[in-house]
Amino acid sequence: MKKRLFALGMTLVLALSLTACAPQTTPESETTPPAETSPAQPESHQPQTETPALEGTTINLGLLNGPTGMGGAKLLADNDLGATINRYNVTIGSDPSTDIVPKLNSGELDIAALPTNVAANLYNKTGNIQLLALNTLGVLHILEKGDTVNSLADLSGKTLYAINQGTNTEYVLDYLLTQNGLDPDTDVDIQWKTSEEVTTLMASGDIDLCMLPVPAATTVLMQNSDVRDAVDLSDAWTQSGAQGTFTMGCVVVRTQFAQENPEAVAAFLAEYEASINYIKDNPEEGATLIEQYGMVPKAAIAQAAIPQANMIFTAGDEMKSISSYYEVLFAADPTSIGGSIPDDAFYYTAE
């Protein structure tokens, strides 16, 4: 009998010791205080029942440099600290067509950031992804070394250096030029180059006119005081009377992954929204994280760019407001979104 009581006592001591030493993965308000544990409680009722629900899922996450990826920097930091519900294996790319889309198609990525037109295009071609959240509004700016351009109509007869041909950038520019009475093919000489090329040429003063997104536009303005922000294309969008909201960036999920892991997707959305809000509300700390994860080269540039980056978080049924924007892209060039306006199955709206 004494041996049995001694064994039971040792079991209880061991259980309480494990509880005291275990990482606090559940909210403090949900953790049962050790002092409340009954000595007569059977061994099968050890206080570990909450842990499996919070262990999360390993998610292969793809983000992009620049504003489309900036909002995720806090999520990456929390992940490195082991402070997220899910565990994220992260790929950060520069070109969605080569760094992100092939890996979504092969199943190497589960959730990824994309330009909104690329997301629609991929859905129409494969049906294998769904729109999970909108994350970036318009971030395009016309920069000029001089003072001759104050509207898109003023681009007539000029040479404009631009980046990201074949994405939202090109289709929105063509649409807005047309809305301002210009033919993009004949009235403006558009020279398509890489972001690095245009940024370097404009910052050094070797060219007079360019279109760049934040934070590349921010870099130029900080490096060359002779350059000014001539036209914000988000303002030009509104002034043109275009329908819908100019929405450039989003996050998508592989449909099969979403169907098999709804709890993991819900946890990601909560963690991602918190990350975006943190970066917006704490630009200095957020800029440090953005530099740390290579999304912008310098924290000073990131901090200056955050207020202009137009980061948002829109999920659920509210995402469907982007359909008006897709109608504009479709009218400009149906191939820009894969030949048709995405149907309701494109939108991930699970509770």
Predicted confidence band of residue 188 (pLDDT cuts 50, 70, 90): very high
Residue 212 carries which DSSP code? E
| pLDDT value at residue 168 | 83
% of the chain at pLDDT higher than 70: 84
pLDDT exceeds 70 at position 296: yes
> Which tokens sit at 203?
């910052």
Q: Please list, in sequence order, all residues whose beta carbon lies within 8 angstroms of the beta carbon of residue 166, skipping any fewer than 6 positions away.
A: 97
Longest CA pairwise span in the chain (Å):
100
Cα 85 to Cα 246: distance, rounded to the nearest angstrom:
32
Angle between helices 216-223 and 195-204 (to 10 degrees): 20
| pLDDT value at residue 56 | 83
Cα 92 to chain centroid distance, Å, stands at 11
pLDDT exceeds 80 at position 32: no
pLDDT exceeds 80 at position 18: no
Cα 22 to Cα 293: distance, rounded to the nearest angstrom:
30
| pLDDT value at residue 164 | 86
Cα 209 to Cα 201: distance, rounded to the nearest angstrom:
10
Residue at token pair 């969605």: 96
Residue 96 carries which DSSP code? I
Mean pLDDT of 143-172: 94
| pLDDT value at residue 38 | 37
Residue at token pair 């309701």: 344
Model-level pTM? 0.81
Cα 343 to Cα 18: distance, rounded to the nearest angstrom:
52
pLDDT exceeds 60 at position 273: yes
Closest among 258, 254, 287, 271 to 76, alpha carbons compared: 271
Quote the mean pLDDT of the chain.
Answer: 86
pLDDT exceeds 90 at position 84: yes
| pLDDT value at residue 338 | 95
Predicted confidence band of residue 351 (pLDDT cuts 50, 70, 90): low
> Which tokens sit at 218?
């921010």
| pLDDT value at residue 21 | 37
Amino acid letter, residue 131 = L
pLDDT exceeds 70 at position 136: yes
Query: What 3-state class would DSSP assign to 19?
Result: helix
Mean pLDDT of 87-92: 97
Mean pLDDT of 12-38: 36
Predicted confidence band of residue 280 (pLDDT cuts 50, 70, 90): very high
Give 303 or 328, the one with higher predicted confidence: 303
Mean pLDDT of 195-214: 96
Instruction: Give yes or no for a contact between 252 and 131, defined as CB atoms under 8 angstroms apart.
Output: yes
**Fold match between domain 55-138+246-346 and domain 140-239:** yes
Cα 189 to Cα 208: distance, rounded to the nearest angstrom:
13
What are the extents of the domains in the chain?
55-138+246-346, 140-239
What would be the CATH architecture of the domain defined by 140-239?
3-Layer(aba) Sandwich (3.40)
pLDDT exceeds 80 at position 52: no
Fold of 55-138+246-346: D-Maltodextrin-Binding Protein; domain 2 (3.40.190)
Cα 273 to Cα 72: distance, rounded to the nearest angstrom:
9
Give 11 or 276, the one with higher predicted confidence: 276
Mean pLDDT of 12-39: 36
pLDDT exceeds 70 at position 17: no
